[in-house]
Structures are given as C-alpha cells and as structure tokens.
Amino acid sequence: MALDTVRARWMEASYANQPAARCGHSAVTVNAVPTWGEEFLVVFGGIDRHKEALDDLAVLQCEQEAWFAPEKAAVGPAARAFHAAAVIGSKMYLFGGHVYVKQLHKLHQFADLWCLDTDTWRWSRLSGEAPEAPQPCPRDRAAMCAVGGSRLLVVGGADSMNRRLDDAWLFDLERGTWSEVKLAGARPRARCCTALFSLESRVLMFGGDTYGVTNELWSLRGLEGDGPAQWTQLQLEGPAPPPRRGHAVAVTGSWVVFVGGLTEQRSLMGMKSRSEYLSDVVILDRQERVAWRGVELASPPPAPREKHTLTALAGGRLLLFGGTDGTSTLGDAWWLDLEDIAPPQPDLLSVADLADSASQPPPEVTAAPALPLPPGKQAAAAPGRQGSPGIPAGAPAGAAADQQLAAPPSPSPQQQAGGGGAGAGSSGALTGGLAYLQQSIPTLSTALSSLRGRLGLPATSSGAQLAAQQLAAAISEEHDRELLQLGQRALAASRGGAAAAAATDTRQLVAAARQFLATRAASQLHLGELPVLMADYRRLARLGWTMLLTEKGPEALADGGVRLPGRFMHLAADDLRMREVPEVLADYQLLFASHASLADAAAAAPGSGGSGGGVGAAARPATPS
C-alpha cells in the first residue's frame, strides 16, 4: 500500500536568553504542569564552540516561549558531553558521557547516573559510587530510554578504547540497582550514536555507528519478564532512510520522527569515500501499518547536522536544537511542524501483525449520511466511529474526526453541493451544523419577525448602527494584549520606535496589527503570531455573522447563495494544519477588507456620532493585494 507523503515545515525559534551553541548535549521534555503550570524543555551539557564541556542547565518555558537558567545547585554532575538522558514524570535522568581532561591530554568517561528533580532543580546521584556493584562500564555515546515508570534502559555506546558496545543494562529506580539484560538469539552489531526509544511494551533502536553507519531497525521485547529478552530486526515497507549516526529522534502521537545525522558514501571496494551531513526528516508511521513515510518540506530546512537534539512537546510540536556541521558548533533552534499529527495508538504492531497486514487491503472508510441530525448527534451516530482503524473503542469523537481527516472519503453529491458529514472532519461538522440550522431557520425567522413587530421595531435593524456598537466593544486591552503588542511592533517597523512608543490609541494599534496580519504571506508568519491571527479572525467573523443576520435576517442562513464568513472560526491556532494557513490568511484578508468598509458605514450611520465608535474606523488602510 502506497503511503501518502507527509508535509513538514521548519520555523526558526529565536527566543531571549537562548543557551550557548553546543553539540553532544541532551534535551528532554518534562511535565512540570503540576508544579510550574507548563511543560519544560530541559537542556544539559554538551561541548561548546571552544571544545569545552558544559555543566549548565537551560530550560525553555514552552508556554512563555522563553529560556531561563535555574540557579546552579551545589551538588550535580560534572561537565560532560555525549551522555544519555531520559525523563520520567518531572524527573530527568542522566548517564555516562565524557569530558576532555587537558592536564592528562585524554578523555575521561563516566559511568554515573544522576537524577534532576525539576520541582526543586536539585540533583541527586543514583549510582557510580560503588565500583564493586554490578553496573555498566564507563562509556560515552550510549543511548538510554525509560521503560515503564520505574526503569531505565541503557544500550551500547563506546568504551575508553573507542570499542563499540552491544550490551544492555536496566536500572531499577525503586531498588536503586543495575542489572545486565539477558539476551537470547541474534542481537544487533555493537554500536554507538544510535537512536533508542520506547513504545509501550517494547523498545526500538534505529541506525548508529557500527564502525560504519547503518540504517537497521531493531525491536527489543521481553524486558518485563524474568526470562531473556530478544532483539528482532524489522524490515518495513516504504522508502528506507539512508544509513546514519548522530541523528535525533522524537515520538509524537503514532509517528516516530528522525532528523539529520551523518551518513557515509562508500566505494565499491567497501572503503569509506566521503561523509555527508543530513538535514532530512524521516517518519516511522505505526498508525495502521508500520512503515516508513516520505516527507515533503514546505520550507527550507535548517543546516545539515549531527549530534543535535529533537524533542517532542504536547500538541505535536517538535524542537530541534544545536549540533555540529563538522566545521562549526551550532546554537540555533527550530520548530518542526508536521501536517496531520497521527493520534497515539494503544501499541505498536508486532512483526507477525505486520506480515498479516501486508496482505490485507486497507479498510474502507464509509461516508456519513447527508446530515439529517444536529452535529452533536451526528458525531455519535456517524458510521466508522466503531472499529475505525487505529481508534480504540471508547475513544473521544475527536479521534474519529482526526482519523477521517487523514484519509477523507469521497464526498457524496449532497456533500459536494455544500453539505458535509462526520467523514469530512472538523469542517464537515461545521458545515453539517449549518445545514441543520438552515432546516430550522424558517420557523426561527417567522418567530423573530413577529416578536420585533410586537415591540414596534422594524423587521431588521441597521447593520451599520450595530457595527458601531460592536466594533467599539470588540477589543479588550486585558484580553487582547498580544494584538496590541503586535500593533506596536508593526508601527515600530514602519515608522520607527519613537512613533510606536507614542502610539497609545487602541484603534491605531489594532489597525496596525490588522494591516500587518492581512499583508503577511504564510511563509512569513511566525509561530507566535498564529494565536493572535486566529483570535482576531474569530472576532471579525463573529461580527460578519452579526451583520449578515441583522441586515438580511435569519433567512440568510437558509440562502445557499450566501457565503458565510469565517469558515475556520471553529479552529484554534493549535488545531490548524500547515496547508490551511494560506487559506486562513486569504479569508482573514477578505474579513479585514469587509470590516474596513463596514467601519466607514458605521461612522456614517445615524446615531453613531460620526466617529465610527470603535477600532474599525481606524483600520481603513488599503486592502492588501
């Protein structure tokens, strides 16, 4: 089965107090919501541009999008690089690595295990002080991941003689002890600089340096029992990625994402000919079939690199940081935005499942009926809700919508004519809700007209008067601080900092912000501007609905020839797909131009005082082309 290509977009993430450039560092996402109210991305150690090992902590506040450095603790791990790190809950664990000792002109490798409690930013040493106890030998470039909620798995690395290692060790956090994993059957070649990650009941390992780069994918099972564990090499469908080492990995939903690394082109005689740094994005898709997915980039990627980190945050965001391109140490950070993040699955398909599924045709997705029910009841009654591939029984309705968005059915004639269904995803639910409203509008329209007549009011009120009132109340300095700040930045860019500092009129700031947003291309839009755009988009769309109902009455909703404004108003910024951003911007430009004209009408309306009564009157710049 041919798998669709995933679209991806890179956006540079440049924030205040960004940590120094480095490679060979670690970065993990910590759930600090119970204590600090948000996620943290914690960076430790690495080698800087002067080839010095680091022992600093740098923390990205994911909601605030700002870096800070916790106060340095009195006790903590020595400066190091090429260590391994993992996270369980609010604690980060760090193992091994090395530091170059100038006095001895040699590397010193570590075998210690440390724990950082992000509730207090205090370190504690868990192992490495009792050399007689069973434990891994000192090593660097090993890989580590969490297994369940109480164990850490360390695999491979390189020892003091730079020999590649093939052993595996488990650390029991409750007992505070190491134990070497007993292995049965074939095992991977000894390696370092690999990518190790946990997926429910098993651990997977991809790539690495085996005295030459590899693109082997291995699965380790049996860690939960008393018997020996077993490695199994996986052969997947889809375009296999090039061999590599020093790449980064992150798990988001049902996708495992790899970025970059170093590959080697070898001659026919098997001797290394040249090395190449990579900037590609590779996806292991485990949603319906375990397979490699191709990735199409919608923007230029960061510079090729290895020894960097890629970290997954809530909502599917991925952050790349640091690394080296062979000539310089890098300190840039980039957000990776993937289209249609796949929802998490209960478990990864086994090799037997993979063999069985390869011979089975893909499941059919049935389109929903032509919406005789309200949208809430449609979601409960939609075909495909039970037994949809990759959606466990009892999952929320949103999971079904996400699944259907990933593989939408062919629209029915009713849907092509303007209807929709659960199979059409979120936009289908919105269109379905409108269809339901259209069926009920005639009764509502008659009742409303009758009520207005009894009150001695005209059948419809003046839309311009209503606009004058609502445009005045639409902006709140408390709740629209980001919009006003964007207006100040836009004024500073166009008129200079002094003019922006002198601008305190809300209407002027909103006008500048809207002009800025309405003239941006999708490729120019920064990640932090999306929430501002969507908040103002919904505000303008709501005013458009109010105007439509006021001028034409409720029957306007039953008129199939009337284009309803704001077709994306049901989406938050986090819900947007990358392909929808240009459409949202185009829709916003139409709303912006419409409300600029509306402001003029409001200013001229009887009873408005001729002032426009709100921000719209100031927002009358030329419509963007």
Query: From the CB of residue 370, how many other CB atoms can be counted at a distance below 10 Å?
Result: 15
CA distances 449 to 400, 446, 456, Å, are 40, 5, 11
Give CA–CA dist 293/283, Å, rounded. 5
Sheet holding 143-147, edge to edge: 143-147, 151-155, 168-172, 177-180
Specify the DSSP class assigned to residue 176: T
Give CA–CA dist 303/551, Å, rounded. 54
Q: Do 152 and 171 form a contact (C-beta atoms < 8 A)?
A: yes
pLDDT given at position 331: 97
Give CA–CA dist 440/438, Å, rounded. 5
End-to-end CA distance of the chain: 43
Give CA–CA dist 152/144, Å, rounded. 7
pLDDT given at position 218: 97
What is the distance of C-alpha 222 from the center of its chain?
31
pLDDT given at position 587: 84
Q: Pairing between strand 255-266 and 66-68?
A: unpaired
User: Where do the domains of the chain lie, and which CATH numbers do they carry?
Assistant: 6-347 (2.120.10.80), 371-381+415-455 (no CATH), 460-618 (no CATH)
| Burial (Cβ within 10 Å: 0-12, 13-18, ≥19) of residue 146 | buried
Secondary structure (H, E, C), 243-277? CEECCEEEEECCEEEEEEEEEEEECCCCCEEEEEE
Alpha helices in 113-163 (DSSP H): none
Specify the DSSP class assigned to residue 15: -
Q: Do 489 and 499 form a contact (C-beta atoms < 8 A)?
A: no
CA distances 520 to 155, 354, 584, Å, are 48, 45, 11
* Tokens representing residue 78 in the block: 């020595």
The list of the chain residues with pLDDT below 70 reads 1-3, 266-273, 340-479, 497-504, 545-565, 574-575, 596-625
pLDDT given at position 154: 98
pLDDT given at position 6: 87
The reported pTM is: 0.58
CA distances 372 to 269, 434, 622, Å, are 69, 11, 43
Query: Helix and strand tally (H, E) in the chain?
Result: 12, 28
pLDDT given at position 456: 52
* Tokens representing residue 454 in the block: 């009894």
Enclosing H/E stretch for 125: strand 122-127
Q: Do 309 and 25 form a contact (C-beta atoms < 8 A)?
A: yes
pLDDT given at position 60: 95
pLDDT given at position 497: 61
Side-chain half-sphere of 28: how many Cα atoms within 13 Å?
A: 27
Angle at which helices 397-406 and 425-454 cross, to 10°? 120
pLDDT given at position 547: 64
Phi, psi of 506 (to 5 degrees): -60, -40
